A and B are shown apart, each in its own frame.
Chain A
Amino acid sequence: MRETRAVLDALDRAIINRLQGDFPLCDEPYAELGRALGVDAATLIARLRKMLDEGVLTRFGPMFQVERMGGRYLLAALAVPEARYEEVAARVNADHAVAHNYRRDHALNMWFVLAVETPEALDQACARLEAATGLAVYAFPKEREFFVEMKLTV
């Protein structure tokens, strides 16, 4: 995972800002978006591929709302002893239900998001992680959503 700042030109920035909105649903969407950005489809595709390869973009495509398809997300945390941190991170990351995992400064020092297809799979994933790590999983299900949007201007 890239953790340093990338060098981006004006076109890269325009593409990133534009693609935090909606990508067209039409036969030739890259050509259509390219017209708005003043480039042809091949140039746009090449830039997207480069930014994905370099880790500037983590993903390009449909953003699925798992809950609307019957699935579930869960934010959860572990209090990992420092001496075991790398080992526990490897065990948690190896679980396919873990979509994101971040180290944070707190007694609860490992925060991850589980994304699964069914409510039952959520309970199973928590039990699996507790068995794999020997640590208690603190679950933070959302009780109310106030805002969700990830928009960064670059």
Chain B
Amino acid sequence: MNAALPQQDELDRRLVLATQAGLPLVERPYDALAEQCGMPAAEVQRRLAAMLARGAIRRIGAVPNHYALGYTANGMSVWDVDDACIAELGARVGRLPGVTHCYQRPRHLPLWPYNLFAMLHGRDRPAVLEQVAEIRALLGPACRAHEVLFSTRILKKTGLRLGS
């Protein structure tokens, strides 16, 4: 992690702390942050742009609550895929339109034989299950087993919280 630290200096850290709950809802939000963090307004925009450029900030925007938007079915589809094929097949699954996250993760045998995780969102469970069928067809014989774990309750959802 120390390799990542030189670019993450104290002023950047102040900006992270000041914005992790959200961007100020005032006409000149970056000026408000400048005052809060003790740096010139132009410096706030420059630092945010630099963090965007190096990927420390993925984007500045909104996170919708998918339940409130009618995407009430959220299925974590998990697949036991032949290790020899997972790089190529995982990339193809990740490009399907309904897939929002797609990762290779470790198995925990015998309880958990699955090594490919594809998160699916739909307006209802049948819509998600159609996506599952599409992935099953794409994976073909390289897939030995799969399951869909629907989320039945959000227990907690907050953004990143760094200590201050």
Seen from chain A, the residues whose Cβ lies within 8 Å of a Cβ on chain B are 1-6, 8, 15-16, 19-23, 25-31, 41-42, 45, 48-49, 51-52, 54-72, 75, 79, 89, 92-93, 96, 98-108, 110-112, 115, 117-119, 138-152, 154
Is the pair A62, B57 in contact by a Cβ cutoff of 8 Å?
yes
For A150, list chain B residues within 8 Å (CB). Answer: 63, 100-101
Task: Give the docked Cα–Cα distance between A70 and B23 (Å).
Answer: 22
**What is the predominant secondary structure among interface residues of chain A facing chain B?**
mixed
Partner of A63, one of B57, B90, B153: B57
Seen from chain B, the residues whose Cβ lies within 8 Å of a Cβ on chain A are 1-2, 4-5, 8, 16, 19-23, 25-31, 41, 45, 48-49, 51-52, 54-72, 74, 76, 86-87, 90-91, 93-95, 99-106, 108, 111-112, 117, 121, 147, 149-163
Q: Least Cβ distance of A109 to chain B in Å?
A: 9
Task: Give the docked Cα–Cα distance between A60 and B54 (Å).
Answer: 20
Is the pair B61, A21 in contact by a Cβ cutoff of 8 Å?
yes
Is the pair B60, A101 in contact by a Cβ cutoff of 8 Å?
no
Specify the chain A residue showing the minimal Cβ separation from B161.
Answer: A96
**What is the predominant secondary structure among interface residues of chain B facing chain A?**
mixed
24 contacts between A and B (CB under 8 A): A2-B67, A25-B52, A45-B25, A56-B68, A58-B65, A60-B61, A61-B23, A62-B57, A70-B4, A96-B163, A99-B160, A99-B161, A102-B153, A104-B76, A105-B149, A106-B147, A111-B76, A118-B1, A142-B103, A145-B102, A145-B103, A147-B95, A147-B102, A152-B71
Task: Give the docked Cα–Cα distance between A55 and B62 (Å).
Answer: 12
